[in-house]
Structure 1
Amino acid sequence: MTVALGLTLGAILGLLIVSAFFSGSETALTAASRARMHALEDDGNPRAGLVNRLLDSRERLIGALLLGNNLVNIAASALTTSLFLSVFGEAGVAYATLVMTALVVVFAEVLPKTYAILNADRMALAVAPALEVLVALLAPVTAALQFLVRHTLRLFGSNIDDDAEVLSAHEEIRGAIELHHKEGGVVKGDRDMLGGVLDLRELDVSDIMVHRTKMVTIDADLPSADIIDQALQSSHTRLPLWKGEREEIVGILHARTLLQALRDSRGDVSKIDVMALATPPWFVPDTTTLKAQLAAFLKRKNHFSIVVDEYGEVMGLLTLEDIIEEIVGDITDETDVAATDAQPQPDGSLLVEGLVPVRDVNRLMDWDLPDEEATTVAGLVIHEAQTIPNPGQTFNFHGFRFEVLRRHRNRITRLRVVPLNEPAGKAETAHAPADKPAAKTGSKDS
């Protein structure tokens, strides 16, 4: 009897140890740094290679661990119940439940998982060989379980593909950046820069282009002297030329080419044919992603493009600098006019031009205004208000108050945005006296 009791207690203890191994291994593998594992594998660490292969088939790995963990827990509970029944009679069921719950929670779940979280990489490398054997042995069973789970979920309308991923690599990276920023490991500027790189594949050229109303262009029908004067007075090196209508772009004039022509003609502007100096415009669709457009800029070695819609109408222009600024922020030099498109105020509010993109406001003020339905601040107000407001009107939505300061025809040109203490509901309109005219603003264009 004593030998049988000892064997039973030893079996229960061994099963709890195995359960702790499964629980800790699951936590270690899921918490291990994929980047560090890949670096170690590149350095020739065979166990890191095992970890990466296990994580590549994450569903099989988790299925094997859960299956093994549940098997040993059930076996340990059954043995404990049998033992307590022989000692305490029918009351042994209750005693066995209490004892096993305490033992499993403390020693087979909390303790090993806490250790695994604190030593995820080291433990993942240690348990990888054993887990590889376990996954291989339980592969037929886990495959059958996966098949059963997927088809059961499909009965409830949830269709899960075999290769479906809940979180893409880009989203994982973005989440890691945001986490480190909140913890103080990544400063705001670095977070915005890294996020800008990830955003290139999600944004279209229409999201960051210089709108046609802010483009600096020159009438190609003007005398050469006037065109040269306008080009030299501009702070831009590339200037679109138009004929008939401003949207009819016929060429791009480069300041360097113009200066070379002036030198060759010894300053005689009458000898200069401006259209002969201009290069053909490069038109790109407004639906082109920034990632694709950046690749096209580098491939064509052309840094200037005209953005058109599906009907071929000019919508704006885009330069290589515009895309780079999405990553590193505004780039200014000695020829740039001080931008006042968005001016933070001491009281926490923001004076902003209507055509400023919502994304720029979010990056500047660290706000979270939605940019799915509208690209610009003015567009956001019009979308939410379902009308073109007049100066003096205010709207509360998304936790901010938007006050219209100026309007030109059908365009909102100036607003004040004030964060509210408590998020407001759908747009509430209030008529208030118009604010004093804001200072004249500069603009960023071609």
Structure 2
Amino acid sequence: MDDISTAGLLIALGLLIALSAFFSSTETAMMSLNRYRLRHLSQQGHRGAKRANELLERPDRLIGLILIGNNLVNIFASAIATVLGLRLFGDWGLAISTGGLTLVILIFAEVTPKTLAALYPEKLAFPNSVVLKPLMTLFYPFVWLVNLVSNNLLKLVGVAPSTSGDDDLSADELRSVLNEASAMIPRRHREMLVSILDLEKVTVEDIMVPRHDLYAIDINDDFKAMMKQLTHSPHSKVLLYRDNIDDVVGFLHMSDLLRLMTREGGITDKAMVLREVREIYYVPEGTPLNVQLLKFQRAKERLGLVVDEYGDIQGLVSLEDILEEIVGDFTTGLQPAVSDEINRQEDGSFEVDASINIRDMNREMNWQFPTDGPKTLNGLVLETLEEIPETHTTVTIGQYKIEVLDANESMVTTVKVEPVAK
């Protein structure tokens, strides 16, 4: 380098530092790319995304190429800086050039370009991939040799570097992605997608109409009384039973009843009604909603009775109930609204019907009562106190103070809920 002028060496050093910055920023940009967005853009025909995606299919080769290039330019830069240091500073040149070059590379070839690449990965990775593709072809023998040695070392510790990492998302990870999507996905759409993921955490007992609230008719009642109940039914399907609700007969569709009533002669006896009864579809308790949704679809059913391990009826679940878990209350429904069971008092507390479903209450009031135990507020109070409480008994559950306003011999009927100030 004795024949090269100092100015020429300075220009060469500047170019090498620029190349070092290129390799450093490219490495960070390529590794910071969102793989899912990259695949989407690639499928849409984006050329830069296609090139980057091809390079990232073998990250070991990509990293090998970048590091070979970066180390080569840094070594050459070190050599030139040493020559310049000796020329300009004599015996102190080696120390000055080493310290100065380290500072320059750290600022201009490492920290600054990598920070920029981390902030704007696509703006750097896509155009820089134009240079990386031919460089991969040019330096392939060196990259292959370096990867051969490094990959064999990795295999010794049980790592297979020939394939990229597993990019599959778990349900919890996908839930986090949706929650962080902010303005990219409308809030209502995010809520629906998260609700679909949450179906596996909710069972049919959480949303069923409990046994004691079922609208059912005893077919052993007087014929006229039974017909009056049927014609005044608020439901499109009615459950029929004999004497005890555990001895169910089946469901009667109101459309079938209307057809019988409008034909010539009308309905003359119970036998005509019973011939129209349809079979019961049973649902085991503990069935997750995502599983039951598929079962309803395969069986082409919309309604089922939830039974426990002994075959006793626990409640009723419908396809509409499951869909409302996803999209919210899209109809007025035939059950009373949650807000009818919660009344705000002047002192800021809430008078609540203790038979309310805890999940419905939490969703309506944005409360945080535990849902992994009893399904109703009455059950939660009884489980906490371990006895049937007297009126004005007070208990604190989580961050809520609950006072029993009314109770009978078997259950709590009305409570006052007051959030406790933190």
Scaled to the shorter chain, the TM-score interval is 0.7 to 0.9
The share of aligned pairs that are identical, in percent, is 27
Q: 1:375 to 1:99 in 2, by over 3 A?
A: farther
Q: Secondary structure at the match of 2:246?
A: coil
Aligned to 1:14: 19
1:269: how far off?
Answer: 3.8
Which one-letter code corresponds to 2:169 in the other structure? L
Which one-letter code corresponds to 1:38 in the other structure? H
Q: CA RMSD in A?
A: 4.2
Please, what TM-score do these two structures have when normalized by structure 2? 0.75
Relative to structure 2, which stretch is displaced further, 101-110 or 132-141?
132-141
1:71-110 → structure 2 map (5 Å cutoff): 83=81, 88-90=93-95, 95-110=100-115
State how far apart, in whole Å, the 2-side matches of 1:213 and 1:31 are.
52
1:228: how far off?
Answer: 1.7
State how far apart, in whole Å, the 2-side matches of 1:52 and 1:330 are.
43
Q: 1:334 to 1:298 in 2, by over 3 A?
A: closer
Aligned to 2:281: 282
Q: Secondary structure at the match of 1:248?
A: strand
Which one-letter code corresponds to 2:286 in the other structure? T
Q: Does 1:234 align with 2:233?
A: yes
Aligned to 1:177: 178
State how far apart, in whole Å, the 2-side matches of 1:381 and 1:75 are.
72
State how far apart, in whole Å, the 2-side matches of 1:217 and 1:352 are.
26
1:91-170 → structure 2 map (5 Å cutoff): 95-116=100-121, 120=122, 125-127=126-128, 137=143, 140=148, 143-144=151-152, 147=155, 167-168=169-170, 170=171
Aligned to 1:430: none
Please, what TM-score do these two structures have when normalized by structure 1? 0.71
Contact 2:117 2:124 in 1 (8 A): no
Aligned to 1:295: 294
Contact 2:261 2:267 in 1 (8 A): yes
State how far apart, in whole Å, the 2-side matches of 1:107 and 1:125 are.
19
1:274: how far off?
Answer: 3.1
Aligned to 1:363: 363
Contact 1:174 1:195 in 2 (8 A): yes
Q: Does 1:325 align with 2:329?
A: no
Contact 2:223 2:269 in 1 (8 A): yes
Structure 2 segments unaligned to the other structure (5+ residues) = 87-91
Contact 2:26 2:124 in 1 (8 A): no
State how far apart, in whole Å, the 2-side matches of 1:163 and 1:320 are.
39
Contact 1:350 1:418 in 2 (8 A): yes
Aligned to 1:434: none
Which one-letter code corresponds to 2:37 in the other structure? S
State how far apart, in whole Å, the 2-side matches of 1:131 and 1:388 are.
73
Aligned to 1:30: 34
Contact 1:252 1:279 in 2 (8 A): yes
Q: 1:271 to 1:319 in 2, by over 3 A?
A: closer
State how far apart, in whole Å, the 2-side matches of 1:162 and 1:20 are.
21
State how far apart, in whole Å, the 2-side matches of 1:180 and 1:245 are.
52
State how far apart, in whole Å, the 1-side matches of 2:73 and 2:206 are.
60
1:356: how far off?
Answer: 3.7
Q: Secondary structure at the match of 1:330?
A: coil
Summarize deviations over 1:79-124 as a string: whole Å, max 9, x none.
Answer: 66664685544466555544433334542311222232xxx3x655
Aligned to 1:435: none
Contact 2:204 2:286 in 1 (8 A): yes
1:317: how far off?
Answer: 1.0
Contact 2:405 2:414 in 1 (8 A): yes
Q: Secondary structure at the match of 1:307?
A: strand
Q: Secondary structure at the match of 2:251?
A: strand
1:208: how far off?
Answer: 1.5
Which one-letter code corresponds to 1:12 in the other structure? I
Which one-letter code corresponds to 1:33 in the other structure? R
Contact 2:407 2:413 in 1 (8 A): yes
Aligned to 1:195: 194
Contact 2:17 2:109 in 1 (8 A): no
Contact 2:42 2:53 in 1 (8 A): no
Which of the pair has more CA radius of gyration?
2
Q: 1:132 to 1:70 in 2, by over 3 A?
A: closer
Contact 2:16 2:74 in 1 (8 A): no
Structure 1 segments unaligned to the other structure (5+ residues) = 153-160, 423-446
Q: 1:343 to 1:39 in 2, by over 3 A?
A: farther
Q: 1:421 to 1:266 in 2, by over 3 A?
A: same
1:409: how far off?
Answer: 4.2
Q: Secondary structure at the match of 1:247?
A: strand
Which one-letter code corresponds to 1:296 in the other structure? K
State how far apart, in whole Å, the 1-side matches of 2:398 and 2:70 are.
49
State how far apart, in whole Å, the 2-side matches of 1:101 and 1:386 are.
65
1:283: how far off?
Answer: 0.7
Contact 2:260 2:267 in 1 (8 A): no
Aligned to 2:223: 224
Q: 1:65 to 1:341 in 2, by over 3 A?
A: farther
